Structure 1
Amino acid sequence: MSPPAFTHRQATALPFVRAWLYAMAALVFVMVIVGGATRLTDSGLSITEWQPLLGAIPPLNEQHWLEAFEKYRQIPEYHLVNKGMSLEEFKFIYWWEWAHRFLGRVIGLAFFLPFAYFAVTRALSLKTSLRCGALLVLGGLQGALGWYMVSSGLVDRVDVSQYRLAAHLTLATVIFGAILWVALGLERPRHAPRDGNQWTALLIAALVVLQVAAGGFVAGLDAGFGYNTWPLIEGALIPQGLFTGTPWWRNLFENALTVQFNHRMLAYVIAILALIHAYLARTPGSLMVLAAVFLQMALGIWTLLWAVPLWLGLAHQGGALIVLTAALWNLHTALLVRSAVPSLRPATA
């Protein structure tokens, strides 16, 4: 395989493009943490409207604050959970949700403006331009999904739908991983998995994303605040009550006990796979995945036993993205085309 040719512009811009993408991944990481804080402080329903442009301006005076508070007082969460809340208490939850939405707007601009500049100045190859365009579309969909999630808690519920919350968190994770994957692969050819170790590396990365989705259901049902023992649940490895609801499959998404049990079991599966993979592959990437997985498991157990204090819950959520980062790095290094070293010389006609 011959090394890929760069234009002069692409060669000189490559470090800046890669740094931009890594910075975007870091912003998405922060966004996920702020989103977790919004959830754990029950702040997500404090802003009852979706205003993509005007919503960037918070209340600027006492009258504006009273108007925002009055809108919040019309929804079920206020009447059934926070009735009697003071204006100062409302401001606390409002600022968390406002920060989450504002950071989303910042990410949108921080992605679009450099992307447009790089594209216009031909600093990106066609493949990279298409991938970045797809990331931009995913970001827009994530904003719409966020409002779709919030809207589920404004009428007949005191909380958002766990289905929509899990989808929102999972898409954020996919966007984070996709940005990293594009950045890692900039002008670095990779091949499809060819052997058992490479397929296992891919499987681990996929299972980490699935585990994040499972964690979204745990968060959506507040399942982490119950069954705070380990390794037993309700005094058993396999507790009773996992499939009390009908039809049976709804327990997987609506039964807090089943949701937490599945989250634990999937963690064990990932840990076992990571251990086998590290033993067989014995590469720096596989060892990094193993360390990240076991540290995340320890953090998850700690979070559970302490009934999810805010700082531990956020650390656990951030830890999931660190595990995904390790898994993607491991997969990337396993799939690199070793014989193709990119040339930074401009392409010739």
Structure 2
Amino acid sequence: MTALIRNASDAAYEITAEQAEIRDAAKKFFMNELHPLQQRMDDEDWWPETAMPALGKMGYLGVTVPPDYGGAGLDYLAAGLVAEELAAANPALGISWLAHDNLCANNIYRNGSEAQRRKYLPKLCAGEWVGALGMTEPGAGSDALGSMRTTARREGDRYILNGTKLYITNGPIADVLLVYAKTDPAKGAHGISAFVVEKHFPGFKVAQKLDKMGYRGSPLGELVFQDCEVPAENRVGDENRGHVVMMSGLDLERAMAAPMSIGIAARALALALDYAKMRVQFGKPIASFQMIQSKLAEMYIELEAARTLVYRVLVACNALDRGEGGRGEIHKLSAAALYAAARACSVCCTEAVQIFGGSGYMRDTEINRLYRTAKLNEIAAGTQEIRKLIIARELIGG
């Protein structure tokens, strides 16, 4: 098995023996059970329906949700280590896991009512239901709140949702979605509410499944709400306070997305290193050539610098009170970690393909899959440009 590269000891990263045990067990399971699925997932854009129940059975769903609701109750550093290993083994399952676990289940735990937690979390944590987040729209990406057009109109004991959500991970297979819609359009971003929508609610449908360059096998879709009836009891938080729900968890979501890039980058470096030692040209392994050594060194530096930032923000998340986030040091740090991790991922995957040469250009190779996957990490959850703007704004204090 190709070994992932780690720079410092676990002690240097302040990883406890228990966290290391969780990471190592996760790595073994993911590589043995989920890694072999990635070829078919990529070739056929195929979703393995048994994956979520298997993850749930092993305790890898609801990782930050308390055991009272069926989760594992892990701290954020341990949860991030799980995310890193899953992304290294199978990135497509990793991104679906992230949408299910962090964007949906953890959000319901942090912001939902006790009744909502009891109703939805046990089945989400068991993998009986698949979760998703409905935020992005055809005209609302980086400016997701300000440009949102989906509306929710109160009618008695229900809300009527109308609008379209686009590029929704797990959208085509989701049983439960956390959806944002404007309940008071005149208030702009401060007139948005969050709702738990079930796939069988009248007026909800999956318009299309989208064909992606990378992360193939993880279903991505366009969702349509046409007079979709949602019980008022399914509103998450107060009316017109959806921006609070979103911002309170934004930094946690970025913090949990960042180790995915680390996992992919580490896998790319490991594959490139193995190949460079094995590939012989001009009578010797290409790893002996200084230009190849330079590439490997650059990949290593980018990876370990980013990993340090990522682990730092995960530790900081453990001290974040419910309702905090979206401002201050944690906001700056989470954006920096996500930026650095995405950049390291792109550098490692690009240089790895260069080291592999012609074979890396072949679609059916693992390094090619990682290369096609890496680009989304510079776009999703806020583009690299938006991440830098957040960092600068927090530095300046404006």
TM range (shorter): under 0.3
User: Which of structures 1 and 2 has the larger relative contact order (alpha carbons within 8 angstroms, sep 6+)?
Assistant: 1
TM-score normalised by structure 2 residue count? 0.22
Higher-Rg member (1/2): 1
Could you say which structure has the higher helix fraction?
1
Could you say which structure has the higher strand fraction?
2
TM-score normalised by structure 1 residue count? 0.25
